[in-house]
Amino acid sequence: MTSPQKRTSLALIAAFNKMDIDAILSHRSPGCMRHILPSSLNIAPTNNTEYEQQLQRLTLIFRNFELALQDIVEDVGSCRVVLWLKARADTIVGEYVNEYMWTLDFDETGERIIRVHEFVDSAVQRDFWPKLEGALREVRRVRRTEGE
């Protein structure tokens, strides 16, 4: 029998694969915080509102986003699931490929995520994300110009 937190974890992956922001957020508790690691990246934690804004920006530059589950480890007693995921997407600056380890802490029902610790590939964060940020700024600039 599959636990609620494992079902929620798999539903979260499915929501990402559809890039369904409402569905992604529906699995998070109101106070859920996302922490990007390693801490050497100096990325501030994000709440649901900030995370939703980040996801909205990504929909402008990601196409065909796909998360592939490599492994899942569950600690039922602690209401915790660890996911090893590989991601790929097409972007306006080339193919995005990343690897993540997500530690998801759940409420007592196992249906809402209360905290995310997301380990990312530091090289991708260092080398690829600045290109994406530059492309996003350009997309925004063009949209503002077209809107005038």
Domain of 110?
Answer: 4-147
- Quote the percentage of the chain above a pLDDT of 90: 75
Q: What is the CATH number of the domain that holds 81?
A: 3.10.450.50
pLDDT, tens only, 81-117:
999 999 999 988 899 999 999 999 999 999 999 999 9
**Lowest-pLDDT range of 1-10, 33-42, 88-97, 129-138:** 129-138
Q: Would you state the pLDDT for residue 55?
A: 94
pLDDT, tens only, 111-142:
999 999 999 999 998 889 888 888 778 877 88
Q: What's the structural domain count of the chain?
A: 1
- Angle at which helix 129-147 crosses helix 48-61, to 10 degrees, equals 80
> Mean pLDDT throughout 61-82?
95
Nearest to 114 by CA among 31, 1, 13: 31
24 and 15 in contact (C-beta within 8 Å)? yes
Alpha-carbon span 121 to 4, nearest angstrom = 28
27-56 burial: b if 16+ Cβ within 10 Å, else e: bbbeebbbebeeeeeeeeebebeebbeebe
Cβ-Cβ contacts under 8 Å for 55 (sequence gap 6 or more): 19, 21, 24
Is 0.85 surpassed by the pTM of this model?
yes
Q: Is residue 148's pLDDT more than 70? A: no
Residue with tokens 């699931």: 81
Residue 114's H or E segment, with its range, is strand 113-120
